[in-house]
Amino acid sequence: MGSLITALTTHDDPADSPDRHLSDEVCESVLASLRRRDQRHKGQLYVNGLLTAQGRKTMRNLATSTREPAAAQSLHHFISVSTWDWPEVRATLARRMERLMTPHAWVVRPMVTPKSGVHSVGVRRRFVRHLGQAVTSQYSHGLWLAGQQAAAPVNWQLSVEEAQLPGTLAGGHDAAPGVTDDAGRSSDDARCSSDDTAVAVVQQSASWGLAPRPVVMDARDVPPAPLIEAFTAAGLPFLLRVGSSTSLLAPDLSGGQRRLLSAPAEHLSTLATSQQRPVEWVDPALPRSIRTSLVALMPVLWPGGAVPRRPRPAGVPVAGPRRTGGAELLLIGEWQPNRRRVAELWLTNMTHAGRGTLLRLSKLTRRVDTDFAHICADVGAQDFEGRSYHGWHRHMTMVSLAHAVRVLAQENRVGEEWERSG
């Protein structure tokens, strides 16, 4: 990520880092909604600690990497006990980053955080596809503003399973263990199961006044029906990667009769192989590396019938009626040259978009994966050691700020525009 990012992590005196000024500028503008001066100061300390501390971002490690090595307790209080409004901070960051980045899409990315214990909120044992095994972990989704050159997370939702929520929380019942902050306050906006977090993070972000962008997501680990329904109801374009067994409806091209064929997506893709065309794209994971894929498009229908209504997480606006019934979509198949089996399958409601546009949008998931590994994980996305729901969200808000500083530091001009846009 260049010399500027290296300086952020290896400078002899972190407090005098050449990008400390940019970090303070970002924090000063985004944290302006915090009413108390001491909260704004602690926010700057926390972000600077995330940017400069080596290794795991523990409170002690964060404090010792700043100008106030004795601040570990106050930083803990700022994250786990304080009452500042993290959704407003995220909304401010999202609007500022949108103006500077002009993203092509909102990429929704899952994050699995392994945990050794079971006392933190949202922790349970779940199967993780890319690891091929069950892992005791937290599960969340982040919404990223993504372009060809960079991506930045601006919102997060943590999965809290229904089993952890025996009471209604908002109706006078006792809160479930773990769904409280460290001061004992219950959370009435924590009811997000693993199937709901992707929908919730998009709906909440859409309520911030951002310009609508295509929602791009690898949806192989969650049921696609709630996503298709919610994004259609919200009027958002979407591009969802689906599994090979996803059932779809398509014209039966074999018998010459006008009838619909219900079949798995992978089987339907074989009917479109004659429509394959080469498309070039730049691999975000390998800068300046141009690749070629074969892409075919096939009109399909999403099977009719309403998906059972899911409880809406409190605090997330209703996007509209939850029906799609027979939505007209495109199935996109991508093949690697000289390979017979389809490599990736995507569904979209952008039925008039071309092959090149759709393929390049799908590759923004690789952009986000790359920036998560090189930036977001390095500034502590999976290092929160507390147990509370609100504490996790406040920590992830500060992680988003630190990630934004790293992205802006890649190009001095962008950082200068941030200062002028304040």
How do residues 394-406 score in pLDDT, each as one tens digit?
999 999 999 999 9
Task: Kindly tell me the number of DSSP H helices and DSSP E strands found in the chain.
Answer: 13, 12
Q: Which two tokens stand for residue 274?
A: 């004659």
Q: What is the pLDDT of residue 414?
A: 56
Asked if the model's pLDDT at residue 35 lies above 70, the reply is yes
CB 300 within 8 A of CB 290: no
Same domain, 358 and 396: no
**Mean pLDDT over the full length of the chain:** 82
H runs (alpha helix) in 245-335 = 265-270
Same domain, 283 and 322: yes
Q: Is residue 90 part of a domain?
A: no
H runs (alpha helix) in 53-173 = 59-64, 72-80, 86-101
Q: Which two tokens stand for residue 106?
A: 């909102």
Q: What is the pLDDT of residue 303?
A: 84
| Residue ranges making up the domain that contains 283 | 224-368
Same domain, 233 and 258: yes
Same domain, 397 and 345: no
CA 204, CA 232: separation in Å to the nearest integer? Answer: 15
If phi > 0 it is left, if psi is from -120 to 50 it is alpha, else beta; for residue 197 that is alpha
**In this structure, which amino acid lies at residue 349?**
N
Q: Is residue 210 part of a domain?
A: no
Q: Is residue 256 part of a domain?
A: yes
Q: Is residue 68 part of a domain?
A: yes
Same domain, 328 and 245: yes
Q: Is residue 99 part of a domain?
A: no
Asked if the model's pLDDT at residue 52 lies above 80, the reply is yes
Asked if the model's pLDDT at residue 171 lies above 70, the reply is no
Q: How far is CA 357 from the centre of its chain?
A: 21
- Which residue in this structure is represented by tokens 């025996």? 166
Same domain, 284 and 412: no
Asked if the model's pLDDT at residue 311 lies above 70, the reply is no
Same domain, 297 and 413: no
Same domain, 258 and 390: no
Average pLDDT over residues 346-351: 97
The CA dihedral of 170, 400, 44, 14, to the nearest 10 degrees, is: 150
CB 331 within 8 A of CB 346: yes
Q: Which two tokens stand for residue 107?
A: 């990429």
Q: Which two tokens stand for residue 87?
A: 């959704």
Lowest-confidence region among 24-33, 107-116, 119-128, 197-206: 119-128
Q: How many domains does the chain have?
A: 2
Greatest extent of the chain over all pairs of C-alpha atoms, in Å: 77
**Phi, psi values for residue 155, rounded to 5°:** -155, 155
How do residues 200-259 score in pLDDT, each as one tens digit?
999 999 999 999 999 999 999 888 999 999 999 999 999 999 999 999 998 765 555 567
Same domain, 341 and 290: yes
